[in-house]
A and B are shown apart, each in its own frame.
Chain A
């Protein structure tokens, strides 16, 4: 997975840890988005995510999102820390994950799935 542009010097560091940090942050944001949309039509999930009543399901949506972010970061970093990973590819993947996360938290989108 090593690609270098003609103008870029070969990396003098293992880019796997960079990719892990980037992609894990995208995963965290995507999970928050996914839970936001799914909780709209799944009352059971909304109840499960209600970790603290004064804040409601927001506590669980963000709590699970943070756990997903941290766990995926640890796992990906352990897998890739000594490897080279195409930074451009990692960045594009991260942007797609964040973009999906944004879409899934966007009210006009997630109300399309709201339970009657």
Chain B
């Protein structure tokens, strides 16, 4: 039972960081949604704000780590050009493009995933900044809180698109 270097980094990129991102999103969303003065005491709000600040920061950091490991460690293996006569199963992009039945995973799935994934850390960082800087105002100002929640969901949704295609592409053409 062992993992190759490529499998290890695919696991770090897709599973470890992906799971941390999902967890921090779930906690952050619950925290933002419940940040209402009529639901929580002043002491409770203070405690929640502290958790929310660190939760959204972790989510932003994890989002950056995910796109950086994805684009600069895993993706170069995916898109490497095979030498003449090579076994294409070791070169996922070429393997997918060589098959009419599978080429859509590259031309649609990977092409969208590799770009849209970068939206997530940008949006997650904006959310973390707004939570750090305007925490108390998020409690008082419903409009601001709703705006931050939508931005937070968009950060998750764009990562979700990338994560979904990442999993499906890995199933069709794993990095061996």
List A residues at the B interface (Cβ < 8 Å). 5, 8-9, 11-13, 17-18, 21-22, 24-25, 28-29, 32-33, 36, 52, 54-56, 58-59, 61-62, 65-66, 69, 87-88, 91, 94-95, 98, 101-102, 105-108, 111
If over half of A's interface residues share one DSSP class (helix, strand or loop), that class is named, otherwise mixed; here it is helix
Of chain A, the residue at the smallest CB distance from B75 is A55
A94 CA to B130 CA, complexed, in Å: 14
List B residues at the A interface (Cβ < 8 Å). 67, 71-72, 75-76, 79-80, 107-108, 111-112, 114-116, 118-119, 122-123, 125-126, 129-130, 133-134, 137, 140-144, 147, 150-151, 154, 158
A106 CA to B107 CA, complexed, in Å: 10
User: Do the beta carbons of A32 and B115 come within 8 Å of each other?
Assistant: yes
User: Do the beta carbons of A105 and B112 come within 8 Å of each other?
Assistant: yes
A54 CA to B80 CA, complexed, in Å: 7
A46 CA to B166 CA, complexed, in Å: 24
